A = this chain, B = another copy of it.
Amino acid sequence: MLHVVSLIHDQFEDLELWYPVLRLREAGASVLLAGEKAGVEYHGKYGVPAHADISFDEIDPDSIDALLVPGGWAPDKLRRFPKVLDAVRAMFRQEKVVGQICHAGWVLVSAGVLNGYRVTSTPGIRDDMTNAGAIWLDEPVVVDRNLVSSRRPPDLPDYLKALVKLLQEKTVR
């Protein structure tokens, strides 16, 4: 069974958090939500709730297969936690799957892992992505090595199709 962690904080984009989480559960994965504090209920931009199953401290990159970063304004907070940035860097070091959509790229910018990576995101943060060394493309989904990027909610079907495919390839290998 695949083990996946999705980061959360208040003001996540409601569908960008929940569609990937539910979709990977449908694919048979165990998906946990990691927040600043375990057991706390966070709320999306529209108000959809989400409980943190574990805290950032409990994320163990060695034992998970993928790390997801939702969009919304949550990434503006997530990027400020050293534990979050450590987890992102560890995933990249181990070449494990990372998924990010919309404004999630800010977290990867602060983790310093984007140099030379082909990515996409909301156009709003394109400059922050390219200033961090990424090659930015305006496509529904971009896959480069372990990183799957997407732009916005209507791209969620493309985003998850690519995420599921990459996870299957990684697992088989």
Binding site for B on A (CB under 8 A): 14-15, 18-19, 22-23, 25-26, 44, 46-48, 73, 76-77, 79-80, 103, 106, 109-110, 123-125, 127-128, 131-132, 156-158, 160-161
Number of copies of this kind of chain in the complex: 6
* Chain B residue at minimum C-beta to C-beta distance from A155: B22
Q: Which listed residue, B48, B128, B161, touches A26 by the CB 8 Å rule? A: B161
- The main secondary structure of chain A at its interface with chain B is helix
- Pairwise interchain contact A15-B48, C-beta atoms closer than 8 A: yes
Complex interface: chain B residues within 8 A of A76 (CB): 103, 124-125
* Chain B residue at minimum C-beta to C-beta distance from A128: B128
**Could you tell me the distance in whole angstroms from the C-beta of A60 to the nearest C-beta in chain B?**
24
